[in-house]
Structure 1
Amino acid sequence: MTISINSLVSEIVPSNTVLVFGAGASLPSGAPSVWNLCEHLAPLIGEEPGTYSFAELCSLFEFKKSRKELVTQVRLKFKGLRPTGGLQNVAEYDWVSIFTTNYDDLVERAFTKKGKDIRVFSSNFDFGEPTPSTSTPILKIHGTIGFDTSDGHRSKLVLTEEDNDTVEDYRDALYDRLKNDLNSHDVVIIGQSLADPDLDKLVKRALKIRQKSYSSARIFLLVYTQDDNRAMLLERKGLQVAFGGIDDFFFELAKQSDQLVPVFETSDDPLIQSAILRSITVDIEHQANQIPPDFAKMFGGAAPSYADIRAGFTFPRSLKDKISEKLQQDTQYSVILGASGVGKTSLARQIAFGLIGKGFLGWEHNPDREFIANEWRSVAKVLEDSQRDAVLVLDDAHLYLHEINNLINLLHDDGSKRLRLILTSAKNHWKPRIKTANLYKSAQLLELSSLNPSEISSLLSLVEGVPEIAKLVDQSFRGFTFPERRRRLIERCNKDFFVCMKNIFANDSFDTIILREFSSISPEYQSVYKVICALESFGVRVHRQLVVRLLQITAQDIGLVLENLEGLVDEYQINHRESIFGWSGRHPVISEIISKHKFSGQEEIFGLLKQVISKISPTYDIEIRTLRQLCSFEGGLSRISDVSSQNELLRMMISVAPRERVPRHRLITNLIRNGHFPDAEAEIRIFENDLGADGPVRRYRVRLLIERAIGTLGLMLDDKATMLNEAFASALVILKGDPFNRQSLQLHADVSLELYRVSGDISFIDDALEAMKAAEKEIGDPDLTRMIHRFERRVSPINDNAFEMEAVEDTD
């Protein structure tokens, strides 16, 4: 039995609803129907409307005329359209996402008119651009009227039968997104007629998706033309059908809407003006005072929260006061480096919490979300105007270092000093990445590696003084005096922080403890846990939907998985609108141990990575970041020793998200390093054609010339010199454009050394050293100092053989 529009509207909450627009959404605003388009196109090629399907007619038109003419004629029928009636109100609500089969841009215009942010997808080249949390995703299944390949654009209008074939990967990605949305949200499909074959395909696809995912989400179908018989057939399949138009839908929604009316707020918090930052930022003072501490979670391996620090569940690190004092004086940036488990996050949070007590405002960025430099620039300006100081903690800073560089440059340009940044990163992730020269002008760089004796004493005092901790101490430590505990702890742990903690509370070797714990898990959940650990060890931010797709977990079993992995896997919210929840193990060290033992073979790792890439849904920002994380030098690809296997995975990534630059960079690098020069040159050309030349690709062109000159057998010395001189000229142009860029300096040094070897002209060496030393003096980057020393050793007669300089990651 069909339902009324009133009932349909009363059943849904816009912020938990996905809209899917068919032709019925646009016809009231004057958009042409498929029949109207056929009536217009057919006579232009001497055919009768109705003889062929729309796709067949468009294919004939393109064959007889041209693609350009076909697109031009289709656009004529959409000229001058604007949203009218109920469609104008679509932007009044925070929909989860909007899918549309329509070519027009009426929905986009409605949002623009309201000043609301949107993120439009019309081809797979749109995958990779970040989607701000305040933006509504609009996913165009058949492309968009303003873009087509006949204009030189990467997006195309899906008109012909051939178009349908060429966009299959893109369309599959959109339906993957719909499948994920269906797991947690209701869907409302709005169409014109149940007899419409396109609407029928759309409905069947939605039903199939829901059936495969075992989702309990509801699918509502609103159609303009009443057709009780077809409605009855669809209701038997689990749809709820209502008859009416889009104007009726939004009229009822306006009457019944219970969305909150914005309330004017007065506050001295600079974040109050930024809806984006408020949704992705931790307020340190609020978390410390309002969120209860959770020692059990911290004991399981999680970094302490600000509430844990306030409750006294942590011990002070010896560097804390030094860093805090510097940040209150002449230092604007602190960078804390160290291996996993050494206590970087704990120290950063201790420092920030201490600064709050000295009158600072304090925040921490959620590293799972986009870092938006311009928003923080606005906050810094408010701080300057109000003469207030603030600290921002940027944990795992290497994940978004490019945007952090942008912020530091903006603060330098503005002369803003009141916003302090505390950055943490694993040293191996930090070292190869590009850092702006402005960072080192007002920064202190500190490295955590172990606990010193005074810190171990503080840790033992904490163990004895806090009842929640004391009761968990292992029997092997009870009975010893304080000095004896301290002596044994230093001996057993070699002063490593995380291992140190574990040895207080258990006397087995760390790996044995973790593996014994793993064996106690039910076999059906071991497979889930080991995949989560493996992905974390690969550097990936794991989230629920990725694991669900990988292991084909049904929606109804998600609760059981979390229940059986309680205490081992923590679920936390990443994106409320998209219902994305992160899944994390207790600690990176634990995940690494599980991964090492459960995915020990190359074939196993390759198979897992291949499966992950094939299951990527590129409409989500977090999954695009997954591709980047897998490509990092310490990420998943580095676990594969066979370069041809790496390249296979990189080509899969490029196919999934062709706009994403990092996989292309990695592929070109591999091809050059392994002497596949023609393939590398082809990839560079394709990159420039698709995305335009960027900094890394310009350097790759020079690197390709160098490697060809020194790696091609049978070249005459003059020919080699000619190639190297060409490379040198290009490297010099790149260096002059950015004289402090470490990658550009290394490239210039490498080609200078090869020219010296060919010509014997020492001036090449002198010029390269002069450039590196000038940069070292200007920005004070310690990595530049190490680069100079390595270069000098390479030039030394004692080291006549080529000495490879360290790999530097191209991420600009």
Structure 2
Amino acid sequence: MTISLDSLVTELNPSNTVLVFGAGASLPSGAPSVSALCEHLAPQIGEKPGAYSFAELCSLFEFKKSRKELVAQVRQQFRGLRPTGGLQNVADYDWVSIFTTNYDDLVERAYTKKNKEIRVFSSNFDFGEPISPTATPILKIHGTIGFDSSDGHRSKLVLTEEDNDSVEDYRDALYDRLKNDLNSHDVVIIGQSLADPDLDKLVKRAIKIRQKSYSSARIFLLVYTKDENRAMLLEKRGLHVAFGGIDEFFFELAKQSDQLVPVFETSDDPLLQSAILRSITTDIEHQANQVSPDFARMFGGSAPSYADIRAGFTFPRADKERVTDKLQNKVQFSVILGASGVGKTSLARQIAFDLVGKGFLGWEHNPDREFIADEWRSVAKALDESQRDAVLVLDDAHLSLHQINNLINFLNEDGSKRLRLILTSAKNHWNPRVKTANLFKSLELLELSKLVPSEISSLLSLVEGVPEVAKLVDQSFRGFTRQERKRRLVERCNKDFFVCMKNIFANDSFDTIILREFSSISSEYQSVYKIICALESFGVRVHRQLVVRLLQITAQDIGLVLENLEGLVDEYLIDRRESIYGWSGRHPVISEIISKHKFSGQEEMFGLLKQVITNISPSYDIEIRTLRQLCSFEGGLSRISEVSSQNELLRIMISMAPRERVPRHRLINNLIRNGHFPDAEAEIRIFENDLGADGPVRRYRVRLLIERAIGTVGLMLDDKATMLNDAFTSSLGILTRDPYNRQNLQLYADVSLELYRVSGEVSFIDDALEAMKVAEKEVGDPDITRMIQRFERRISPGNSSAHEMDVIEEMV
């Protein structure tokens, strides 16, 4: 039995609802129907309007006239449209996302009129563009009226039968997103008539998606034209059908909505002025004082929270006081580097907590969300105005280094000194990436490795003095004097922080403990746990929906999985609006051990990576970040030794998200390194056509010239010199634009060395060394110092190394 419009609206919570607009959403605002478009197009090619379907008619029109004329005639029917009636109110609610089959931009206009942020998807080239956490995604299934390939755009209006075939990958990605949304959210489909074949296709697709996902989410269908018989058939398939139009829908919604009175807070905290940052930032003082400490979770491998630090569950690191003092009085930036398990995050949080205790405002960015430099620039300006100091912790800073560079440049440009940054990263992720020269103007760099004797003493004091810690000490560790404990700790753990902690509380070797624990898990849940560990070891931020897709877990079984992996897998909120929940193992060291033992073969590793990549849903920002993380030189694809297999995976990534630069950079790099010069040149040309030349691709063009000159057999010296001179001219132009960029310096040094070897002209060497030494003096980057040392070794007598190639271009 159909439901009333009032009942439908009463059931809905907009912030937990996905809207799907069919033609019925746009017709009241004057948009043409499909039949009206057919009546306009058919006579122009001598056909009757009812003789062909819309797609067939458009195909004939394009064949008899041209694509450009077809698009122009369709656009003519959409001129002058503006949202009217209920559609004007669509932006008043916090919808999870909006899908639309309509060409028009009425929804976008409604949001723009009310100054609400949106993110429009109309082709797979839109996947990967930065998206604000507060922006509403608008996903256009058939393209958008303003963009078409006839104008040179990557997006196209889906008009002809051929168009439908060409956008199949893009459309599949949208329906993958709808499937994910259906796992957690209700869906309202707004159409015109149940007899509409396009609406019928859409409804059937939604029903099929829900059946496959075993979701309990509800699908509501709102149609203007009453048809009780068809409604009855759909209700038998689990839909809830109501009759009414979009104007009535939003009128009833407005009546049902709570009348919220804005609450204005008076505070000197500039973060309160940014709705975007509030949703993706931890307030250090609030977490320390309002959240309960949880030693058991910390002992399981998680980094200590600010509440844990306040409760005394951590011990002070030797450099804490020194770095805290420098940030308070002398420097603006601190970078803490080290391997997993060495205590980077703990130290960063201890320093930030100390600064908050000294009167600083303190925040930590959520590394699972995009870092937005412009918003933090506004915060820094507000700090300058209020004369307040603040500290921002950026854990795993390499994930957002491009935007962090932008912020540091903004702060330098504005003369803002009151916002301090504490960045943490693993050295292998940090060193290859491009850092702005402005970072080194006011930097305290700290590299953590082993525990020093004073830290081991502090750790033992923690073990002996805190009851929550002391009761977990293993029996084999008890009874020894303090000196004997310290000696055994040093011997058994080699002073590694995380392994020290585990050996205090257990006697077995670390790997054995972890593998024994794994064997105790029920076999049906071992597969889930080992995939989570493998993905984490690849450097990927794992989340619920990715695991669900990989292992075909039904919606109702998610709770059961988490219950059976309690204490091993932690679920945490990433994005409430999109119901994205992260899943993490206890610690990267543990994940690496599980991955190493359970995915040891190359074939098995390749199979897992291919499965992960093909199951990516690129309309989600977190999954685009997954593609980038898989391209890391220390994880993901680097675990695959066969370059041809790496390239296969990279090509899948590029097909799924062609806008993403990192997989393209990595593919070009692989092709050049393995001597596939024509293929590399073709990829560079396609990159420039699709996205325009960027810094890495300009450098790759020069690299290609160098490698061809060196690697091509049978070339005469004159020919090599010509090719290298072209490379030298290009590299000099690149260096002139950015003389302190480490990649540009490396490139200039490489081509100068090869020209010296071909020509014997020492001036090339002298000029390269001079450029590097000037940059070293101006920037102070220790990586440039190491580059100079390496270059001097390469030009020393007796060094037969042919050439070295910088391998990190695509990680910028």
Report the TM-score range of the alignment, normalised by the length of the smaller protein: over 0.9
Match of 2:291 in 1: 291
In 2, Cα distance between equivalents of 1:14 and 1:259:
14
Match of 1:14 in 2: 14
SS in 1 for 2:138: strand
The answer (yes or no) to whether the contact 1:633–1:809 under 8 Å persists in 2 is no
SS in 2 for 1:201: helix
Match of 1:265 in 2: 265
Q: Is it true that 1:721 corresponds to 2:721 in the alignment?
A: yes
Taking a change above 3 Å as real, the CA distance of residues 805 and 145 of structure 1, as seen in their structure-2 partners, is: closer
In 1, Cα distance between equivalents of 2:450 and 2:720:
50
Match of 1:701 in 2: 701
* 1:351-500 correspondence runs (5 A): 351-500=351-500
In 1, Cα distance between equivalents of 2:737 and 2:516:
56
> What displacement does 1:615 show?
0.4
> What displacement does 1:259 show?
6.2
Q: Is it true that 1:797 corresponds to 2:797 in the alignment?
A: yes
Letter in 2 for 1:508: D
> What displacement does 1:323 show?
0.1
Letter in 1 for 2:294: D
In 2, Cα distance between equivalents of 1:478 and 1:803:
57
The answer (yes or no) to whether the contact 2:696–2:809 under 8 Å persists in 1 is no
> What displacement does 1:804 show?
2.6
In 2, Cα distance between equivalents of 1:387 and 1:203:
57
Match of 1:35 in 2: 35
In 1, Cα distance between equivalents of 2:131 and 2:717:
53
> What displacement does 1:431 show?
0.5
SS in 1 for 2:811: coil
Q: Is it true that 1:185 corresponds to 2:221 in the alignment?
A: no
Match of 2:344 in 1: 344
SS in 1 for 2:50: coil
The answer (yes or no) to whether the contact 2:734–2:744 under 8 Å persists in 1 is yes
SS in 1 for 2:530: helix
SS in 2 for 1:441: helix
In 2, Cα distance between equivalents of 1:52 and 1:263:
58
Identity of aligned residues (%): 86
What is the alpha-carbon root mean square deviation over aligned residues?
A: 0.7
Match of 1:588 in 2: 588
SS in 2 for 1:205: helix
Match of 2:278 in 1: 278
Taking a change above 3 Å as real, the CA distance of residues 200 and 805 of structure 1, as seen in their structure-2 partners, is: closer
Question: Gaps (5+ residues) in structure 1?
Answer: none
Q: What CA deviation, in whole Å up to 9, does each residue of 1:569-600 have, x standing for no partner?
A: 00000001100000000000000000000000
Taking a change above 3 Å as real, the CA distance of residues 181 and 261 of structure 1, as seen in their structure-2 partners, is: farther
* 1:641-790 correspondence runs (5 A): 641-790=641-790
> What displacement does 1:805 show?
5.5
In 2, Cα distance between equivalents of 1:109 and 1:310:
49
In 1, Cα distance between equivalents of 2:803 and 2:460:
47
* 1:69-108 correspondence runs (5 A): 69-108=69-108
Match of 2:224 in 1: 224
Match of 1:311 in 2: 311
> What displacement does 1:763 show?
0.3
Q: Is it true that 1:233 corresponds to 2:233 in the alignment?
A: yes
Q: What CA deviation, in whole Å up to 9, does each residue of 1:111-147 have, x standing for no partner?
A: 0000000000000000001221110000000000000
- TM-score, normalised with respect to structure 1: 1.00
SS in 2 for 1:392: strand
In 1, Cα distance between equivalents of 2:108 and 2:132:
16
* 1:502-581 correspondence runs (5 A): 502-581=502-581
Which deviates the most, 562-571 or 800-809? Answer: 800-809
In 1, Cα distance between equivalents of 2:347 and 2:543:
26
Match of 1:329 in 2: 329
The answer (yes or no) to whether the contact 1:787–1:805 under 8 Å persists in 2 is no
Which deviates the most, 278-287 or 475-484? Answer: 475-484
Taking a change above 3 Å as real, the CA distance of residues 36 and 155 of structure 1, as seen in their structure-2 partners, is: same
Letter in 1 for 2:793: R
Q: Is it true that 1:251 corresponds to 2:251 in the alignment?
A: yes
In 2, Cα distance between equivalents of 1:803 and 1:706:
10
Letter in 1 for 2:652: M
The answer (yes or no) to whether the contact 1:434–1:810 under 8 Å persists in 2 is no
Q: What CA deviation, in whole Å up to 9, does each residue of 1:700-720 have, x standing for no partner?
A: 000000000010001111011
Letter in 2 for 1:485: R
In 2, Cα distance between equivalents of 1:63 and 1:810:
42
Letter in 2 for 1:129: E
Match of 2:151 in 1: 151
Letter in 2 for 1:178: L
SS in 2 for 1:798: coil
> What displacement does 1:803 show?
5.1
Where in structure 1 do 4 or more consecutive aligned residues deviate above 6 Å?
Answer: none
Letter in 2 for 1:141: I
SS in 1 for 2:417: coil
SS in 1 for 2:740: coil
SS in 2 for 1:128: coil
Taking a change above 3 Å as real, the CA distance of residues 168 and 213 of structure 1, as seen in their structure-2 partners, is: same
Match of 1:66 in 2: 66
Letter in 1 for 2:406: N
SS in 1 for 2:61: helix
In 2, Cα distance between equivalents of 1:635 and 1:784:
25
SS in 2 for 1:192: coil
In 2, Cα distance between equivalents of 1:318 and 1:40:
78
Q: Is it true that 1:625 corresponds to 2:609 in the alignment?
A: no
Letter in 2 for 1:702: V
Letter in 2 for 1:621: D
The answer (yes or no) to whether the contact 1:472–1:505 under 8 Å persists in 2 is yes
Letter in 1 for 2:568: L
Letter in 2 for 1:774: V
In 1, Cα distance between equivalents of 2:593 and 2:449:
19
> What displacement does 1:651 show?
0.2
Letter in 2 for 1:147: F
SS in 2 for 1:32: coil
In 2, Cα distance between equivalents of 1:492 and 1:659:
49
In 1, Cα distance between equivalents of 2:606 and 2:810:
24
In 1, Cα distance between equivalents of 2:271 and 2:513:
44
> What displacement does 1:491 show?
1.0
Letter in 2 for 1:237: R
Match of 2:115 in 1: 115
> What displacement does 1:635 show?
2.1
Letter in 1 for 2:62: E
The answer (yes or no) to whether the contact 1:158–1:164 under 8 Å persists in 2 is yes
Q: What CA deviation, in whole Å up to 9, does each residue of 1:643-667 have, x standing for no partner?
A: 0000000000000000000000000
Match of 2:202 in 1: 202
SS in 2 for 1:334: strand
SS in 2 for 1:296: helix
Letter in 1 for 2:414: D
In 2, Cα distance between equivalents of 1:130 and 1:474:
48
SS in 2 for 1:188: strand
The answer (yes or no) to whether the contact 1:384–1:416 under 8 Å persists in 2 is yes
The answer (yes or no) to whether the contact 1:717–1:758 under 8 Å persists in 2 is yes
Match of 1:600 in 2: 600
The answer (yes or no) to whether the contact 1:743–1:810 under 8 Å persists in 2 is no
In 1, Cα distance between equivalents of 2:37 and 2:262:
43
The answer (yes or no) to whether the contact 1:19–1:187 under 8 Å persists in 2 is yes
Q: What CA deviation, in whole Å up to 9, does each residue of 1:724-755 have, x standing for no partner?
A: 00000000000000000011100000000000
> What displacement does 1:811 show?
3.5
Letter in 1 for 2:569: V
Letter in 2 for 1:436: T
The answer (yes or no) to whether the contact 1:141–1:174 under 8 Å persists in 2 is yes
Alignment length, in residue pairs? 812
> What displacement does 1:262 show?
2.5
In 1, Cα distance between equivalents of 2:238 and 2:262:
37
The answer (yes or no) to whether the contact 2:750–2:804 under 8 Å persists in 1 is no
> What displacement does 1:261 show?
3.5
The answer (yes or no) to whether the contact 1:192–1:224 under 8 Å persists in 2 is yes
Q: What CA deviation, in whole Å up to 9, does each residue of 1:581-627 have, x standing for no partner?
A: 00000000000000000000000110000001100000000000000
